[in-house]
Amino acid sequence: MSVAKDELYRLIEALPDKETPVVKRFLEFVLIRSKTEDQAWLEAELSELPPYEWGPEGPPKGKPVRYEAGP
């Protein structure tokens, strides 16, 4: 388990029992909102976005890519 999840688990364990439903509803809300935002991006018409402005130097120079066919 990650450090952040360990910390969350510790905090939730320390809550009074009457507060855990509130935390549960909040976490469910966060998950639903996250899924909704993801779905909106997947369905968005991104071809209408304006071109990215790279500045006077243009796009950064990357390393060349070489394709090697597989077996």
Residue 33's pLDDT is: 92
Three-state SS string across the chain, please?
Answer: CCHHHHHHHHHHHHCCHHHHHHHHHHHHHHHHHHHHHHHHHHHCCHHHCCCCCCCCCCCCCCCCCCCCCCC
* pLDDT of amino acid 41: 85
What pLDDT does residue 18 have?
Answer: 95
Please write the tens of the pLDDT for every residue from 8-44. 999 999 999 999 999 999 999 999 999 999 998 889 8
* Res. 1: pLDDT tops 80: no
